[in-house]
Structure 1
Amino acid sequence: MAIGILVMHWDERVGVEIIGKYPKEIELDEKTLMQLYSQHEFTGEPGMVSIMAGSTNLASYYTGPESSVYVIMVLSTTEDGDAYEDGLAETSRQILSNIDSETLEAVLPSLYQRLSVYPTLNEEQLLAMIYSDGPKRMILKRLQQESAIPKSELAIWLKDAIKDSFIDIESIIASLVKSTIIKIASVKGLATDVAFLNEDIMILRRPPVHLFLDPSEHHLPKALKDSYKNQVRTFFKNYKPTESDNLEIINKVILDPQCYEVLKLLREAMVTKNDIEKLRKKGVEDIDDTLKSLWDSKMIAVFQDESGTEYYCLITDFYASLYYPRYNLDTIRKQYISKSQNPKALLKALDIMREEYISMIKIRKISAKTK
């Protein structure tokens, strides 16, 4: 399990400085901190190292010589530090954006809580985390428009677009490759590898269909059935997916451990406050604040029966999934006609699309046979 987080800065005159930590009582001795510094100094590049230190395991992420900040996750000996690498890279960017001592102190607890559950995130949460990451979302948007981009060009463009932020381009690309959203391949005649769009992410709200079809079966009193259905219909009558709405749900609900536990319960049934109180055993400590986040995000409604009992109901659910980008065929065709892309890169993009399609069909056939 995760024990805590420290933010260290290396100063050539002073040496090691601890500029933030959570919880406050967590400590690492100077010998251990110097060992981490030496490990990172050996490579000189941004990235993560993992070492054992007594009864703890340390996963440390170095942001590079320009900022010289080290974000250190303190773990139990049973934890695999490597499982936190992608999460540490994203957390490091947010820490550098809040490096002012007062701001860092305010945001560090929530960053730690989010990072501590990173290895246990399911596919929905991992895709949501990718989408919420600004640089990754920028790369995805550009690939949606261009289908293929030389890796070296991608690195220069991204660093130029986000001048005031720390960017570890290798870590970002590795994460997108690992999630199968992009593929990196060589193209004959090009000096650099090329990033290709392999799959796209679909993020949007959707109705809680099984709850809507039979509210009574999911513990809502029959007298409240029509009111619930009307609420769902009213919301989706005017709903249009937007990036800002998606990010609000992701940050307030999907990547908040307490909110997500409540969401999982609400996906199964309409529940009372007493039902939600039982989630305290699963770490949901602030029930009222969690319900407020769901309410503010327009994900729930509250209905009251004749006896005054309140029922908390999901009126909109969240959907995140990878899908095959058929539209990319039109993008490739237009680029070929306009000669705006290297024709060999476009042929490689088509090969990658064909491979992904064949793989997708095989998986469907296997799934159908299993069923």
Structure 2
Amino acid sequence: MPIGMILWRWDYRSGAEELGKYPKELDVSDKTMMQLYSQHLYGAQSDIVSMYVGALNIISVWTGSTHNYFLSLLLTIEEQPEDYKEVISDLLYYLIPFIEEDTFNTLLPSIYQRCTEFPSTNLEQRRAMMYGSNLNRAIFKTLSEEGCFYRDELKIWLEDILKTKLYNFEYIIDGLVQNDILKTSIVRGVDGTYVFLLKYLICFRAPPLDLSQKIKIAKDNELNQKILKKIRDFFKKYVPNEQDNIEIAGYIRQTNYWVIIDFLRKSYAKHSSLTKLKLHGVDQVMNLVNNLINSDIVDIVVDQNEEQVYFLKSDIILDFVPMNYMINQIYNMHVEDRKPDKLLLSYISILKENYLESH
């Protein structure tokens, strides 16, 4: 578990200037920050570095000289800096607007908590983190409609949509490229570098299929019918919307909520079974369950013994949609002369190559 973290900046006259830290008693010497600054400035990869300082292992991320902000996470000697590489960069760029407004200090405890939890998160939770980013969702929405976009214009377009300065645009785009979600390429005969969408992340509710299958073979038919009726009634009226998707993805991102949801995917449960989740590190289990009930993710029925039974009413799906459907849209773009044919042909080739690699 990380020892702590420090947010700081570099002043070319006075050197390292501490902006905030957590916990407050954390002590990082000027000499250590000078070493980190030198590592950032002269290292092979300047934006993110790791180094040993005595009995400490430190991973540090830098915004670059435009802002000169640094976020450094202090680890024990046994911990691996690579485990925190993805999350620490996201969190620094998330903090920038709050640093500019001098409202960041109250956020540091929760930022630290997210750092400590990140190495143990699973693929589903990391997808939820990706979906929770306003910038990621705006990229997916824009490119799912356009397919490809001139890289420099995409930044301007997204800043206009989100009404904010995108300090982390390049970092986010490069991360999505590394995860085979986007591809950037220069197209012969067309000026500039273009961003192509290969697949995009969606989030929605779905009936809990694993639970439904188990209900069919369970013995208590009356209880099963009560549960199935509540599930059916909910999905008769369910209409997906982005605000709801953001809310439910937020539950998946948080480990304690994810443990409860995953437990109820397998079987319905009584109060006594749910409280045993404390053995898995889940505190205040029933408070969390009540929040899930209020969000229509979990519900309650009463069995023949008048005992309350908790069950998963709506599961949460986070998955990628391949861009194969774009072929029709590419044809329409050609007919309407919305994009150069060379660009559209290049996109078809990229989609074909991606399809062959994934099958």
TM-score (norm 1): 0.86
Once the two structures are TM-superposed, the CA of residue 296 in structure 1 deviates from its matched residue by 2.8
Q: Decide whether aligned partners of structure 1 residues 70 and 292 sit closer, same or farther in structure 2, where only a CA change above 3 A counts.
A: farther
User: Aligned to 2:310, which of 299, 309, 312?
Assistant: 312
User: Could you list the per-position Cα deviations for residues 282-341 of structure 1 after superposition, in whole angstroms to 9, with x for gaps in the alignment?
Assistant: 321232332233223210012333545332210000111112223211221111112221
The reply on whether 1:170 has 2:170 as its aligned counterpart is yes
- Partner SS for 1:285: coil
Which amino acid is 2:94 matched to? Answer: Q
SS for the counterpart of 1:78 is: coil
Deviation for aligned residue 1:12: 5.1
1:35-88 Cα offsets, whole Å, 9 max, x none, are 222333447998322222222222212223443322222223333323433322
> What secondary structure, in the 3-state scheme, does the structure 2 residue paired with 1:326 have?
helix
Secondary structure of the corresponding residue to residue 203 of structure 2:
strand
Give the AA of the match of 1:3: I
Whole-Å separation in 2 of the counterparts to 1:40 and 1:222? 64
The 2-side partners of 1:41 and 1:163 are apart by 32
SS of structure 1 residue aligned to 2:187:
coil
Shift of the 191–49 alpha-carbon distance from structure 1 to 2, 3 Å rule, reads farther
Which amino acid is 2:321 matched to? Y
Alignment deviations for residues 246-290 of structure 1 (CA, whole Å, 9 cap, x no partner) = 110112x11111111111111111122332233223321232332
Structure-2 separation of matches of 1:313 and 1:236: 15
1:344 maps to: 342
Gaps of 5+ in 1: 363-371
Change (3 A) 1:334 1:300: same
Q: Residues 206-221 of structure 1: matches in 2 within 5 Å?
A: 206-215=206-215
Match of 1:80 in 2: 80
- Sort the Cα spacing of 1:207 and 1:186 in 2 relative to 1 into closer, same or farther, 3 A: same
Amino acid paired to 1:174: D
- Note the 1:246-285 alignment, pairs <5 A: 246-251=245-250, 253-285=251-283
Contact kept? 1:159, 1:167, Cα under 8 Å: no
Query: CA distance change for structure 1 residues 133 and 9 in 2, over 3 Å: closer, same or farther?
Result: same
1:9–1:70 contact (8 Å) kept in structure 2: yes
Q: What secondary structure is seen at the aligned counterpart in 2 of 1:284?
A: coil
Which residue of structure 1 lines up, in the alignment, with residue 225 of structure 2?
226
Distance 2:337 2:199 in 1: 24
- 1:159–1:39 distance in 2 versus 1, CA, 3 Å: farther
3-state DSSP of counterpart to 2:60 = strand
2:5 pairs with 1:5: yes
Contact kept? 2:93, 2:168, Cα under 8 Å: no
Distance in structure 2 (CA, Å) of the matches to 1:99 and 1:308: 54
Structure-to-structure mapping, 1:106-255, within 5 angstroms: 106-159=106-159, 161-162=161-162, 164-215=164-215, 222-251=221-250, 253-255=251-253
Q: SS in structure 1 opposite 2:266?
A: coil
SS in 2 for 1:313: strand
Identity of aligned residues (%): 30
Show the counterpart of 2:297.
Answer: 299
1:14 Cα deviation from its structure 2 partner: 5.3
Letter of the structure 2 residue corresponding to residue 331 of structure 1: Q
- Tell me which moved more, 265-274 or 98-107: 98-107
Unmatched 5+ stretches in structure 2: none
Structure 2 counterpart of 1:99: 99
3-state secondary structure, aligned to 2:88: helix
Which secondary structure state, in structure 2, belongs to the residue aligned with residue 2 of structure 1?
coil
Mark the CA change 1:297 to 1:44 in structure 2 (over 3 Å): closer, same or farther. Answer: farther
How far 1:188 sits from its partner (Å)? Answer: 0.6
In the alignment, what sits opposite 1:61?
61
- Letter matched to residue 23 of structure 2: P
Tell me what 1:369 maps to: none
Structure 1 match to 2:323: 325
Is 1:22 the counterpart of 2:15? The answer is no
Amino acid at match of 1:225: N
Answer with 328-337 or 191-200: which moved more.
Answer: 191-200
- Assess if the C-alpha contact under 8 Å between 1:46 and 1:168 holds in 2: no
> In structure 2, do the counterparts of structure 1 residues 165 and 4 end up closer, same or farther at CA, with 3 Å as the change threshold?
farther
- What's the RMSD between the two structures over aligned residues? 2.8
- Structure 1 residue 191: Cα displacement: 4.0
Query: What's the secondary structure of 1:119's corresponding residue?
Result: helix
CA distance in 2, matches of 1:20, 1:279: 35
**Counterparts of 1:194 and 1:30, CA distance in 2:** 43
Cα gap change, 1:158/1:202 in structure 2, threshold over 3 Å: closer, same or farther? Answer: closer
**Aligned equivalents of 1:170, 1:95: Cα separation in 2:** 16
- Partner Cα distance (2:44, 2:152) in 1: 20
